[in-house]
Chains A and B, each alone.
Chain A
Amino acid sequence: MEISYYPGCTLKTKAINFETSALALLEKLDVKAIELKDWNCCGVMFSQSQDNLMKQLAPIRTLIRAKESGRDRLLTLCSMCYNTLKRSALFIQENEDKRDKINDFMDLEETEYFGNEIEVVNILTLLDEIDKDKLKASIVKDAKDLKVATYYGCLLTRPKEVAIDNVEDPQIMENLLEAAGCKPVYFPFKTECCASFQVVSRKDIARERTRKIVDSARKNGAEMILLACPLCEYNLDKLQKELHEEDSTFETLPVLYVTQLLAILAGVDPEINDYSKHYIDPRPVLERKGLL
């Protein structure tokens, strides 16, 4: 299978592990992700205002690139990109006059975008579409019932128009990980917000959120937290480290992209991950389970 792939900014830098592991995993599953040519930043956060159309240009331009690629589906790894692209597409689909205005702004573009030409697909949805037997067959390492907390954060399930699964109790990640031999734990904080971009100006809030989320995962027996968003990853990973430095009794949990673990289980060399990018080193846990 072939699918267009939109990396977004952070996947090439801070979240490089997400990209390398996802692409390696997809290769194992016979999916070819073809990076878009000449892509730009999607703007990261969808503009919720009805009259600030300038903010829709970046995501729509990305969708134009996807349309020009000739393939009708666009894969995103980053959940922020997913959310923004999908909501912008919906926005212009539902507002014809705004759509026309946006296209007029971009009159230098050769292609027009109407809203529903491209299906934006999140990596979790794509993995979920793959036959579970095929997925199971690709798993070569025994996870030994590794207990994982599946963290969705906000943007994969909210708002409900773009949710990849049930808004209040998504199960996609659990199903994938179960198929791969892991044990997802009860994790009532799986869709609780990590405070997102507020980490920049209100780190205090983000820290408290991290504490709550990690506490819940740990309490329920998780050995690691798995997620699919570079910003959640940064917040939960970096802020745990800070919390621990401040108070050594705070026990940390490693945070990985779900694809990092799945790739390792599917036999991808664990060394393709750049472990220096992690604030909490996941290797001890992986080592313990014999996954390195």
Chain B
Amino acid sequence: MKKIGVFLCHCGINISATVDIEKAMEALKDYPGVAHIEDYKYMCSDPGQQLIKKKIKDLGLDGVVVCACSPTLHENTFRLTVKAAGMNEYKMEMANIREQCSWVHKDKTVATEKAIKIIKSVIEKARLDEALDPIEVDITRKAMVIGAGVAGIQTALNIANSGYEVILVEREPSIGGKMAQLSETFPTLDCSQCILTPKMVEVSNHPKIKLMTYSEVVDVSGFVGNFKVKVKRKATGLDWDVCNGCGLCTEKCPKKLPSEFDQGLGERKAIYRPFPQAVPNRVVIDFENCTYMQSGKCGICQKVCPVKAIDFDKEDKFVEEEVGAIICATGFETYSVKDIPEFGGGKLPDVVDGLTFERILSASGPTGGEVRRPSDGKVPKDIVFLECVCSRDPEHYLPYCSKVCCMYTVKHAMLYKHRVHDGQPYVFYMDMRTGGKGYEEFYQRAAEEDKVVFIRGKVSKLYQDDDKIVVCGVDTLSNETIEIRADMVVLATAIVPSKGIRELTKLLKIQIDQHGFLSEAHPKLRPVESLTAGVYLAGCAQSPRDIPDTVSQASGAASMVCTLFANEKLKHEPIIVGVNEDICSGCGICTVVCPYDARKTNLEKKLVEVNEVLCEGCGACAAACPSGAAQQNNYTDNQINAMIKAILGKGG
């Protein structure tokens, strides 16, 4: 019989406060197969790991069960521990008595009993575990970054500067994302364009970066180190290789439309460049609104183009790329004012969202940086800013804090005051969240020097009255209701994930949370990885955050990619499902259920064959196989049966 060592971790008091460790040890010490049992306060710490290593060597253990937290957290840690002591790492098993036991129970008796059952079942599994060796795979040392906001730009530059090739895919005609729309940035008030555009130019000139703007990912297959990605290059109506970005076409195009970049305040043409500093410096035709495309008349752009780039070609093109890693940096959007009926539902022109106000403040914006309100161009003298609009409101909108709006609202109020010296900004806030370097000081300065009036409370309603917006709120510090007849109102609406995130994450096979933000592999220890190997996360696509946080996380994701690329070969988990050729009848049921296309029927041999590298070990096929030919390594039917019996109290 195998000699199994069982190691119980207290996890400080995370486990031991709810699970009676001593009692559990007593119940388990004589369980069949248990050669040694021991507990320790922090098993994952160095002394804890040493203890396991020593016991493996001293007692010649050939199986280890660590009873601690979820394997998601520390499986790898303990695998390395046992490996260092000379044991095959796949003979180490974790019994999760924290997330699945101590954290979800209050009653110590119940929790202890459950912990014992969990551990017994894992001992059963360990008894039948076999030594396995990781599967080796080649790597394509090229990365794809999806989304070219500041997050995507930073990641791409970091990876490219480490010497690897990068493909940067952006859905809009230009890179830059939301940061390109911002005026000045907190807490230093440096101009957003001035710090971003040099990076944009660097991207476009970088020999290792291939830019694919106006493009979208439409299909992803493969696995870490070896992804195949299909990218749709949307038709621009012209040949970008010929176009030199002179912009004569946009000048002459007669069709005017609201500019998305200026949040609908300024105008663009039907053939346009989102903004003058766009990278690449190229134009696209908005087919839906182009007069020529609609009626066959016009074609002025084609006539004026000095290099004859315009062909009105509407055909999208598709390209396939092979990459070893993918970074999802698709950023955010803000909750639409149109969907907030109590604040005018988008029907009041002088009630705008934060991004619109950024454009109004921006020197390159529709008002040239002068604060003028949209309805009549007047300079607002009383201006009200509302924080937490749709954020922190589980009843009607979104439960989470959008994190950046406190700070950008303070910035807005401050910048407004710098532009309109005789104006008065008011900020309604619930809690002022200024956690960040220099942030609290920035907030204090706004109140002290710029005399921004901060009102602690919510606004219940606002409405148009003559040319004023009446804001009905409260100040909970003075317990008074407040009514302000404002000239303009700026809503700090919630940060939400960008459109299309659900479809994209399905292609990438990565998880999102209930709101559509990307889920990280572990909230603390693996914040830039998804649960799918080789797919990484950066920026606001993961959760709301400001530029400093976005950039650091983007660099983090880049370093993970470089770490991956530094491997000679990739190691693939051997916990895969093979085929027992003696039993397999070639029915092919497993090939249908496999989500990774890892199984193919060989009609000639009447057998199913497995691409071990594609198999993620989900076990769907093993459950579906009618004959038992598909057995998952170290999760065989025998093991699972033994585990179930142990849990039901029939084991041993």
A and B interact physically: yes
**Partner-B contacts on A (CB < 8 A):** 166-169, 186, 188-189, 216, 219
Asked if B464 and A188 make an inter-chain contact with CB atoms under 8 angstroms apart, the answer reads yes
- Least CB distance from A175 to B in Å reads 16
A11 to B463, CA, bound (A): 34
- CB nearest neighbor in B for A168: B341
For residues 324 through 368 of chain B, which have their beta carbon under 8 Å from a beta carbon of chain A?
A: 341-342, 345
- Least CB distance from B481 to A in Å reads 13
A219 to B463, CA, bound (A): 13
CB-defined A-B contacts under 8 Å, sample of 17: A166-B341, A167-B341, A168-B341, A168-B342, A169-B341, A169-B342, A169-B345, A186-B464, A188-B461, A188-B463, A188-B464, A188-B465, A189-B463, A216-B463, A216-B465, A219-B465, A219-B466
Which residues of the partner chain A approach B464 to less than 8 Å between Cβ atoms? 186, 188
A186 to B342, CA, bound (A): 14
Which residues of the partner chain B approach A186 to less than 8 Å between Cβ atoms? 464
Contacts A189-B463, A219-B466 given; 15 further ones with Cβ under 8 A? A166-B341, A167-B341, A168-B341, A168-B342, A169-B341, A169-B342, A169-B345, A186-B464, A188-B461, A188-B463, A188-B464, A188-B465, A216-B463, A216-B465, A219-B465
- CB nearest neighbor in A for B462: A188
- CB nearest neighbor in B for A169: B341
Which residues of the partner chain A approach B461 to less than 8 Å between Cβ atoms? 188
Q: Which among A166, A167, A188, A189 has the highest number of chain B CB atoms within 10 Å? A: A188
Which residues of the partner chain A approach B463 to less than 8 Å between Cβ atoms? 188-189, 216
Which residues of the partner chain B approach A168 to less than 8 Å between Cβ atoms? 341-342
State the interface size on chain B (CB cutoff 8 A).
Answer: 8
Which DSSP category, helix, strand, loop or mixed, fits chain A's interface? loop
A166 to B339, CA, bound (A): 12
- CB nearest neighbor in B for A215: B465
Which residues of the partner chain B approach A166 to less than 8 Å between Cβ atoms? 341
For residues 464 through 491 of chain B, which have their beta carbon under 8 Å from a beta carbon of chain A?
A: 464-466
- Least CB distance from A94 to B in Å reads 18
- Least CB distance from B484 to A in Å reads 15
A136 to B341, CA, bound (A): 28
Shortest Cβ-Cβ A-B pairs, 3 listed: A188-B463, A168-B341, A169-B341
A188 to B345, CA, bound (A): 12
- CB nearest neighbor in A for B465: A219
Which residues of the partner chain B approach A188 to less than 8 Å between Cβ atoms? 461, 463-465
A169 to B339, CA, bound (A): 11
A184 to B355, CA, bound (A): 32
A169 to B344, CA, bound (A): 9
A289 to B342, CA, bound (A): 33
A169 to B345, CA, bound (A): 9
- Least CB distance from A159 to B in Å reads 11
- Least CB distance from B367 to A in Å reads 26
- CB nearest neighbor in B for A166: B341
A176 to B466, CA, bound (A): 27
Which residues of the partner chain B approach A216 to less than 8 Å between Cβ atoms? 463, 465
Render B408-420 as a binary contact track against A, CB cut-off 8 A, 1 for contact. 0000000000000
Which residues of the partner chain B approach A189 to less than 8 Å between Cβ atoms? 463
A95 to B475, CA, bound (A): 38
A268 to B342, CA, bound (A): 37
Render B427-464 as a binary contact track against A, CB cut-off 8 A, 1 for contact. 00000000000000000000000000000000001011
Which residues of the partner chain B approach A167 to less than 8 Å between Cβ atoms? 341
- Least CB distance from A219 to B in Å reads 7
Which residues of the partner chain A approach B341 to less than 8 Å between Cβ atoms? 166-169
- CB nearest neighbor in A for B461: A188
- Least CB distance from A225 to B in Å reads 17
- CB nearest neighbor in A for B342: A168
Which residues of the partner chain A approach B342 to less than 8 Å between Cβ atoms? 168-169
A188 to B471, CA, bound (A): 12
- CB nearest neighbor in A for B340: A168
- Least CB distance from B89 to A in Å reads 54
A188 to B344, CA, bound (A): 9
- Least CB distance from B202 to A in Å reads 47
Which residues of the partner chain B approach A219 to less than 8 Å between Cβ atoms? 465-466
A166 to B338, CA, bound (A): 14
Which residues of the partner chain A approach B345 to less than 8 Å between Cβ atoms? 169
Q: Which among A167, A169, A216 has the highest number of chain B CB atoms within 10 Å? A: A169
- CB nearest neighbor in A for B466: A219
- Least CB distance from B265 to A in Å reads 22
A186 to B349, CA, bound (A): 14
A253 to B20, CA, bound (A): 76
A188 to B348, CA, bound (A): 12
Render B231-269 as a binary contact track against A, CB cut-off 8 A, 1 for contact. 000000000000000000000000000000000000000
